[in-house]
Amino acid sequence: MKYVPESEWPEWIRNQLGERKNYEVRESKGNYYLYRYENVWDKENKRPKKKTEYVGSLKRNGRSVFEHGHVAFLIDLLSRHDVIESLRKHFPDYWEELLVFSMNRVVRPFPLKRVGSWMEKTSLGEFFEIDPPSGKKLSKVLGEVGVDVKSQSEFMRELIRDDEMLLYDGSMIYSTSNYNKLLEVGYDKDELFLPKVNIALLFSKDRNMPIHLRIFFGSVHEIKTIKTVIREIKDRDILFIADKGFYKNELYDDLDEGNVKFVLPLPRDDGRIQYDEDLSEVFKYRDRIIKSTSYPAGSYHLYLYEDQDLKHTETKNYYKLKLDGKDVSFNESWAGKIALLSNQKLDPEEAYLIWKNRGKIEKAFDVLQNLLETDRPYISSEDVFRGYLFTSFISLAIYYIVLNFLQEHEVNNRVSVKDVLFEFSKIRIEDRGYLAFSEIPKKVRELAEELEAENIMHKIWES
């Protein structure tokens, strides 16, 4: 059996393997065999050595080895959380394509035209009844889903639970497409005039899950965006939290009249903030000393805080700029101050801790932006773009379902979402005329056992 350099691989092997790394091909009597390798440290000889593992044979007219563990793991988790059933209910004609595309985004994002090739390398063909979708087919599906705003809203509305805290944030994504009508020019945070789309995201603090996403024309002001979101969640027993203040007072009234409990920060120049109020209460937050008080503000409750570290930093920065000859304005009574407004009577420390949870949604937006990177600049149709963003939202939900699972098993400090999916992709099945498992690496077996996910090593698919 001889080693075949990658430059000498037949084209059909290159198409089957794509851009997979750490694999090598060997040949004997015209038959080709696939091996996985990794470089490990040889403690005895004190140098790296190559460790290889036989994966299976390669066939010209079809694959004989399929990656299985990672997709079986995802299907199992999504079934437990009723995601598959909900997609089947709201998108009966396209639920399989939506799942394939959204799962690919979490495992290893490929451009639309290559998602079908990725599916062919996995055992999903044994679970789904659809053929691996072409890029043209996926574009059609995303376009059909994109115009079905009603089904999108109903799917996401089922994710909302009563009696939970919802974090809100708004962001923008940019594109160079000339044909997407959703894109409208507007200023970004760096004052650049660019074509953009506004995104509003709701995130469950209690379940650590994204639960709602809306997109708006790029020129729509965020106040209008958030009012639309309020209509989606009114009369639900939830607590609404945002990371920024809004200057229009009627927004707070809209929330209150919609029976939505809220905790929102106020702009520092809001007239309801009494900066001379005695901050008589003190608590500690992550080794920072926070002074606080609360008092009525009309029909609402205002919570005022002074972060001693923030006060020192803002004051120091002001005087440094002044010494450098910069013309800056500074209201010393505002330094280190944070004000929150709520229609709930809370302990000041409790209100502060609730608001501080907003970091979770900032992380979620980072994950979403990464999920959008592969195709975002090139999708031209408005309908396809809407479907693409909705499917990316499903991918975001899948990501957090896996992350929460890792946290429940207390391994998230050493195993990431990408890690567990990569390791489980090494659990493969072979077509020997019947389906059977390939040899499973010891490290992967131990991880599956630790996560109580042994089924992915023993059952191919439930019938």
Please give the single-letter amino acid code of residue 419. Answer: D
For residue 182, pLDDT beyond 60: no
What band does 184 get if pLDDT is binned at 50, 70 and 90? very low
Mean pLDDT of 129-142: 92
Pairing of strands 238-242, 164-174: parallel
Mean pLDDT of 224-233: 71
pLDDT for res 446: 95
Max avg pLDDT among 125-134, 239-248, 258-267, 290-299: 290-299
For residue 458, pLDDT beyond 50: yes
What band does 306 get if pLDDT is binned at 50, 70 and 90? very high
% of residues, the chain, pLDDT over 70: 85
pLDDT for res 391: 95
pLDDT for res 290: 96
Mean pLDDT of 272-288: 94
* pLDDT per position as a tens digit, 38-89: 888 877 887 888 888 777 677 765 667 889 999 999 999 999 999 999 999 9
CATH 3.90.350.10 fits 148-380, yes or no: yes
pLDDT for res 60: 63
Higher pLDDT, 163 or 152: 152
Domain segments of the chain as ranges:
2-58, 67-138+411-458, 148-380
What band does 375 get if pLDDT is binned at 50, 70 and 90? low
What band does 333 get if pLDDT is binned at 50, 70 and 90? very high
What band does 292 get if pLDDT is binned at 50, 70 and 90? very high
**Tokens of residue 204, six digits:** 């469950």
For residue 10, pLDDT beyond 60: yes
What band does 247 get if pLDDT is binned at 50, 70 and 90? low
Mean pLDDT of 245-267: 78
For the chain, give the mean pLDDT.
Answer: 84
What band does 191 get if pLDDT is binned at 50, 70 and 90? very low
- 3-state SS string for the chain: CEEECHHHCCHHHHHHHCCCCCEEEEEECCEEEEEEEEEEEECCCCEEEEEEEEEEEEECCEECEEECHHHHHHHHHHHHCCHHHHHHHHCCCCHHHHHHHHHHHHHCCCCHHHHHHHHHCEHHHHCCCCCCCCHHHHHHHHHHHHHCHHHHHHHHHCCCCCCEEEEEEEEEEECCCCCCCCCEEEECCCCCEEEEEEEEEEEECCCCEEEEEEEEECCCCHHHHHHHHHHHHCCCCEEEEECCCCCCHHHHHHHHHCCCEEEEECCCCCCCCCCCCCCCEEEEECCEEEEEEEEEECCEEEEEEEEHHHHHHHHHHHHHHHHCCCCCCCCHHHCCEEEEEECCCCCHHHHHHHHHCCHHHHHHHHHHHHHHCCCHHHCCCHHHHHHHHHHHHHHHHHHHHHHHHHHHCCCCCCCCHHHHHHHHCCCEEEECCCEEECCCCHHHHHHHHHCCCCHHHHCCCCC
Higher pLDDT, 395 or 239: 395
pLDDT for res 140: 94
Higher pLDDT, 86 or 189: 86
pLDDT for res 167: 83
Window from 126-135, 269-278, 331-340, 452-461 with minimum mean pLDDT: 452-461
